Amino acid sequence: MRWIKVKDYEELSEKAAEILMKQLESKPDSVIGLATGGTPIGMYRQLVSRFKREEISFARVTAFNLDEYIGLGKEQPESFYSYMEHHFFGHVDIPVASRHIPDGMAENLEGACEAYESSIEASGGIDLQVVGIGQNGHIGFNEPGTSFQSRTHVTELSASTRRANAKYFDVKEMPEQAITMGLQTIMKARSIVLLAYGHEKRDALAQLRTGKITGSFPASCLHEHPNVTVLYGEESEGEG
């Protein structure tokens, strides 16, 4: 696990965008795993502006998002579908057919999970997966206690996750479940970059640094992966 400390959020976003750009330079038809949440917004902003300056094309990229809330339609602003349109997909040239986000409105959720897993496999597998980390150590929505062997599945959101994400919702509308890639799905990616920024991630990062592998801290599975980069930093003055 390679740890890279950044001085501020701008640097985190630039470095994350550079890792993605390097991946696409070496393999323009890369399969990229993408994350949502507050942390990667700056990375998407960087990628969009590089695309607008014609420094990069995503035309041959295939993208798979980590997760989606169950019960939120595409049109709902809190869905990760809307997030991706707003922050990234709506501004770049990834073909619509090559953008994948789990379907939180599927009638057959189990079938949707299986199909998601199969389409990742059919694409040749994920070359580079971007993940964030929850205060409870989740990656994707793999909450503490999730099996390291898990594939894409339906999960109950933990109280900690619901608290952290409540800022995006009316209390009554905060979903209780999500579809998420599993820990095994994430671990099959050829390389992984974990983004963590801000003081509320300090404890989770300290736990990750211990190197102890335990199911009660899902991100610890990453210690068993040969190619993980952790980009991290804390707020500098005036931020956050």
Judged by CB under 6 A, the residue of 101, 126, 130, 133 near ligand PGA is 133
Judged by CB under 6 A, the residue of 13, 23, 30, 39 near ligand PGA is 39
Contact 39, 132 (CB under 8 A): yes
Catalytic site residue 165? Answer: no
Compute the distance between CA of residue 240 and CA of residue 234 in angstroms, rounded to an integer.
9
What six digits make up the tokens of 1? 């696990």
Query: CA-CA-CA-CA torsion for 191, 19, 80, 149, nearest 10 degrees?
Result: 10
Sign of the torsion angle spanned by Cα atoms 136, 139, 141, 146? negative
Compute the distance between CA of residue 128 and CA of residue 116 in angstroms, rounded to an integer.
17
Residue 38 in the binding site for ligand PGA (CB under 6 A): yes
Catalytic site residue 108? Answer: no
| Closest residue by Cα to residue 225 from 201, 197, 194, 189 | 189
Residue 137 in the binding site for ligand PGA (CB under 6 A): no
Compute the distance between CA of residue 38 and CA of residue 133 in angstroms, rounded to an integer.
11
Residue 37 in the binding site for ligand PGA (CB under 6 A): yes
The minimum distance between CB 138 and ligand PGA, in angstroms, equals 6
Compute the distance between CA of residue 104 and CA of residue 9 in angstroms, rounded to an integer.
31
CB nearer to ligand PGA: give 33 or 37.
37
CB nearer to ligand PGA: give 30 or 36.
36
Catalytic site residue 136? Answer: yes
CB nearer to ligand PGA: give 79 or 98.
79
Compute the distance between CA of residue 207 and CA of residue 137 in angstroms, rounded to an integer.
8
Residue 132 in the binding site for ligand PGA (CB under 6 A): yes
Residue 182 in the binding site for ligand PGA (CB under 6 A): no
Catalytic site residue 235? Answer: no
Q: Return the range that interacts with ligand PGA (CB under 6 A); candidates 32-40, 51-59, 80-88, 186-194.
A: 32-40
Residues in the interface with ligand PGA (CB under 6 A) total 6
Compute the distance between CA of residue 122 and CA of residue 139 in angstroms, rounded to an integer.
23
Judged by CB under 6 A, the residue of 42, 134, 137, 218 near ligand PGA is 134
Which residues are part of the catalytic machinery?
A: 67, 136, 138, 143
Return residues touching ligand PGA (CB under 6 A). 37-39, 132-134
